[in-house]
């Protein structure tokens, strides 16, 4: 954004910072001879204006779409309805957790509740509940199983992508909740389409930083809680 002014005669107009000329700040005179590339104020303004701009918000949506595209198949794992996933440990014993797609979309989890140790969980029973400032969502069990133990008492870091339960599952129960790899990839495609639809409507979605002035950290800050919850609800309620 360098701007050379050869007429530096000390007059007010000739000393106006380029950010003042652009109307971004109400008052700022240049003391760097318009050497913007080496101006600390210019660096700060560039960064802040990106952080607070629709450009950054669109970038965040693009990044989320890329992450959804990368939420692919993991060899050896079995996909279940409601974006749950299991992995065989030994005999009838399995690890239970979320799919890569679910871990990609869940953001800023403040609370996490799920089935207790040594309890039988029936198909349709509440299995997991995630709580955030965007709301809360319950995941119902897609099959019958016995919860042997919880591997995590809290889910402080949703990005850790760890298994959260050790379960015992009868072979004949698996068919009720299992989905194919192709079905899972179709789920990913459907979520990607939703994000692309929001992107095409941008910036007329949700409440953006320009409305509230707070720095955006999560995708639901851009989309709005209602739109974000629509995607999360679709993610975890598959029939």
What is d(CA 94, CA 166) in angstroms, rounded to the nearest whole number? 6
Q: What is the DSSP string of 176-225?
A: HHB--HHHHHHHHHHHHHHHHHHHHHTTSSS--HHHH-PPP-SHHHHH-H
Q: Which two tokens stand for residue 154?
A: 């809290």
* pLDDT on residue 174: 93
Q: How many CB atoms lie within 10 A of CB 172?
A: 8
User: For the chain, what are the domain ranges?
Assistant: 13-51, 70-239
* pLDDT on residue 48: 58
Q: Which helix (H) or strand (E) holds 150?
A: strand 145-150
* pLDDT on residue 62: 83
What is d(CA 124, CA 118) in angstroms, rounded to the nearest whole number? 18
* pLDDT on residue 49: 53
Phi then psi dihedrals of residue 86, to 5 deg: -130, 160
Of 100, 115, 140, which Cα lies nearest the Cα of 237?
A: 140
* pLDDT on residue 70: 85
Topology of domain 70-239, CATH: OB fold (Dihydrolipoamide Acetyltransferase, E2P) (2.40.50)
* pLDDT on residue 156: 54
- Taking only the tens of pLDDT, the chain with its 239 residues reads 444 444 444 566 778 888 777 776 777 788 888 888 888 777 776 765 545 555 567 778 888 888 888 888 888 899 999 999 999 999 999 999 999 999 888 888 877 777 888 999 999 999 988 888 888 999 999 999 999 998 866 655 555 567 888 999 999 999 999 999 999 999 999 998 888 888 777 654 433 434 444 567 788 888 888 889 988 998 898 65
* pLDDT on residue 84: 94
Whether pTM exceeds 0.85: no
Bridge pairing between strands 126-132 and 109-114: antiparallel
* pLDDT on residue 122: 94
* pLDDT on residue 9: 46
């Amino acid at each position: 954004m360098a701007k050379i002014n050869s007429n530096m005669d000390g007059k007010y107009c000739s000393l106006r910072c380029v950010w003042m000329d652009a109307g971004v700040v109400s008052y700022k005179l240049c003391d760097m001879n318009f050497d913007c590339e080496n101006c600390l104020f210019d660096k700060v303004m560039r960064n802040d204006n990106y952080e607070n701009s629709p450009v950054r918000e669109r970038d965040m949506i693009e990044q989320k779409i890329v992450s959804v595209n990368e939420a692919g198949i993991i060899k050896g794992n079995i996909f279940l309805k409601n974006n749950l996933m299991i992995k065989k440990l030994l005999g009838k014993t399995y690890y239970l957790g979320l799919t890569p797609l679910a871990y990609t979309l869940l953001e800023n989890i403040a609370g996490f509740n799920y089935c207790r140790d040594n309890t039988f969980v029936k198909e349709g029973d509440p299995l997991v509940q995630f709580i955030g400032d965007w709301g809360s969502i319950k995941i119902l069990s897609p099959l019958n199983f016995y919860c042997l133990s919880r591997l995590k008492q809290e889910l402080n870091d949703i990005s850790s992508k760890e298994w959260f339960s050790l379960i015992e599952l009868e072979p004949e129960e698996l068919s009720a909740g299992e989905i194919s790899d192709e079905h899972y990839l179709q789920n990913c495609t459907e979520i990607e389409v939703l994000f692309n639809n929001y992107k095409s409507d941008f910036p007329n979605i949700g409440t953006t930083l320009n409305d509230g002035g707070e720095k955006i950290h999560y995708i639901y800050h851009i989309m709005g809680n209602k739109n974000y919850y629509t995607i999360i609800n679709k993610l975890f309620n598959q029939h």
